[in-house]
A = this chain, B = another copy of it.
Amino acid sequence: MSDRPVRKFARHADGAHGFRWEGVDLLAYKPDPGVPFRDVTRQTLFRRDDLAGELRYFEVAPGGHSTLERHRHVHAVLVLRGRGRCLVGDVVHALAEHDLVTVPAHTWHQFRAADDAPLGFLCMVDAVRDKPELPDAAALAELRAHPETAAFLDGSTKD
């Protein structure tokens, strides 16, 4: 993590390759049928030994989605770019620029970009936190019992 007081937003990279910042590494997940996310990049904007929180930027490409998961730690999310939807528990919410999302502890959640727009969001978490849990077959069946959730997970409802 850079010690420079100011790191500039990389305006030139805004577009096809998403939001970028000087001195911030891009972690790009490659599309892979074996892993439960698609077309998501992650950049850690702030992580320091003397900060209790951590701020990351995730960008989901059009049509992509984050991992369906849950954990004890809380997500505090602000949409920075684009449009999409999120599942929090068993409710689907439409998301637009600057909307706020709270994912409470132990709550299933997933973020999906619109088909025609990326979904870029800031996510504040505790620096010290537990690892995500993925749904097993029983948990997935329970989630899918809600028609709206099932349609969301299949990507068959769109904004």
Contacts and interface: CB of A to CB of B under 8 A. Distances in A.
Contacts of A50: 74, 104-105
Contact of A6 (B54, B76, B95): B95
A contact face: mostly helix, strand, loop, or mixed:
strand
Interface residues of A, number: 46
A8 interface: yes
8 contacts: A5-B88, A6-B100, A50-B104, A51-B53, A52-B53, A52-B127, A53-B126, A78-B122
Interface in A91-107: 91, 93, 95-105
A155 interface: no
A127 B103 CA distance: 18
A51 B104 CA distance: 10
Contacts of A117: none
Contacts of A97: 9
A100 B46 contact: yes
A140 to B, nearest CB: 21
Nearest to A100: B7
A52 to B, nearest CB: 4
B51 A103 contact: no
A150 to B, nearest CB: 19
Contacts of A125: 53
A93 B102 CA distance: 33
Contacts of A98: 9, 19, 21, 80
